[in-house]
Amino acid sequence: MSNRRQFIQASAGSALLGALGTSPAFAQALEQVKIVNGFPAGGTADVTSRRIGDKLAGSAYTKNPAVVENKTGAAGRIAVETVKNAAPDGSTLLLTPYSMMAIYPHIYKSLSYDPVKDFAPVAMASMLTHGLAVGPLVPASVKTVKDYLAWAKANPKDASYGSPAAGSTPHFLGALLGLNNGVDLKHVPYRGSVPGVADMIGGTLASMFTPHGDFLANHKAGKIRILATSGKARSPFVPEVPTFVEQGFPDLVVEEWFGFFAPAKTPASVVANANAAINAALKDKMVIDSLAISGLVPVGGTSDAMVADLKRQTDAWAPLVKKIGFTAES
């Protein structure tokens, strides 16, 4: 337990140091702000939105806790479009995994938003690793990723995996696993992790790739089994589960962040106040502990650091998407 706590605190602390030097310009605190995310209640995006949103009250950014709106549908794009079209006054923020901004431009020929031109990055929120889990449809003898691939190859009719959205990072992790190992894994997209996990527990879905925090409660209850996580090192939340790298799959290393975005043309002083309030919230012990329950580690930092990493992710995913061959029309 102490090692896990040290990991969380160290990760949060190192990421937040850079943000403390930012000195927000004066701007009147907003009465109320809204955080929009594209996933259902109970998942990691929802948890991140609510835990941080609760702690924004009384800051230079907003007087009251944020209201959270879950706008599911269109693989998260409805939420993104909602914030794109919101008033650029700081009263509406988007909370999204980077895939909607870094991967979607590679798969949608006519994407209705431009991640660079239509948004003002505010701050990274939390970091997550993805996981592969199996439910009761997969025999208990399947204990490793190699076991899973062998089972899938022998049972093509049942060899399906869910993800929280078509075109999401978990979708492509599953696609790469199948493609690189000559196994046909059928993808089943959901509106977020929660309904997919429910189907897996119910035995109608064999497996799922999604943020591993969305598996934790059911994994610990013995209802599902996490076979691997996508981080560079084992997750402190399920240290008994080996990584994909440890199991011989070095191409499946992904650590994804949730980030806050404001509409383009939001005043720089408001963005700075929002950034400062988010970073302050991420230092709160209650926030750190509540994120940990969902397998999340606070990040924070400057908006410039967020812009730089978003560019890195956009460039890194371009050849992978091309290799997989998935488009919105495929």
Q: What is the DSSP string of 257-288?
A: EEEEEEETT--HHHHHHHHHHHHHHHT-HHHH
User: What mean pLDDT value characterizes the chain?
Assistant: 92
Q: Evaluate if residue 319 carries a pLDDT over 80.
A: yes
**Of residues 196, 203, 175, 177, the one with CA closest to residue 187:** 175
Contacts 24+ apart (CB under 8 A), 242-245: 242/144, 244/132, 244/145
- Domain total for the chain? 2
Q: Do 218 and 312 fall within a single domain?
A: no
> In whole angstroms, how far apart are CA 100 and each of 52, 162, 246?
20, 18, 29
Q: Do 74 and 108 fall within a single domain?
A: yes
Phi/psi for 107 (5° steps) reads: -115, -15
Q: Do 133 and 122 fall within a single domain?
A: no
Q: Do 15 and 119 fall within a single domain?
A: yes
Q: Do 124 and 136 fall within a single domain?
A: no
Q: Do 124 and 19 fall within a single domain?
A: yes
Q: Evaluate if residue 5 carries a pLDDT over 80.
A: no
Q: Do 58 and 202 fall within a single domain?
A: no
Is 140 within a domain?
Answer: yes
Among 210, 229, 248, which residue terminates a domain? 229
**Of residues 36, 40, 89, 43, the one with CA closest to residue 67:** 36
Q: Which pLDDT does position 291 carry in this prediction?
A: 97
Residues 184 and 204: their CA atoms lie apart, in Å, by 18
Average pLDDT, integer, range 14-20: 40
Q: Do 166 and 85 fall within a single domain?
A: no
Average pLDDT, integer, range 158-182: 96
DSSP 8-state code for residue 17: G
Q: Evaluate if residue 2 carries a pLDDT over 50.
A: no
Is 85 within a domain?
Answer: yes
Q: What is the CATH number of the domain that holds 60?
A: 3.40.190.150
Q: Do 118 and 84 fall within a single domain?
A: yes
Q: Evaluate if residue 220 carries a pLDDT over 50.
A: yes
Q: What is the CATH number of the domain that holds 154?
A: 3.40.190.10
Is 17 within a domain?
Answer: yes
Contact status, residue 155 vs residue 131, Cβ threshold 8 Å: no
Residues 6+ apart with CB under 8 A from 322: 106
**Of residues 97, 91, 111, the one with CA closest to residue 38:** 97
The residue segments making up the domain with residue 197 are 129-229
Residues 301 and 283: their CA atoms lie apart, in Å, by 11
Q: Which pLDDT does position 201 carry in this prediction?
A: 98
Average pLDDT, integer, range 16-20: 40
Is 236 within a domain?
Answer: no
Is 241 within a domain?
Answer: no
Q: Do 144 and 224 fall within a single domain?
A: yes
- What pLDDT digit, counting tens, does each position of 86-144 carry? 999 999 999 999 999 999 999 998 899 999 999 999 999 999 999 999 999 999 999 99
Output the CA torsion sign for 275, 277, 282, 283.
positive
- What pLDDT digit, counting tens, does each position of 184-197 carry? 999 999 999 999 99
- What pLDDT digit, counting tens, does each position of 237-281 carry? 999 999 999 999 999 999 999 999 999 999 999 999 999 999 999
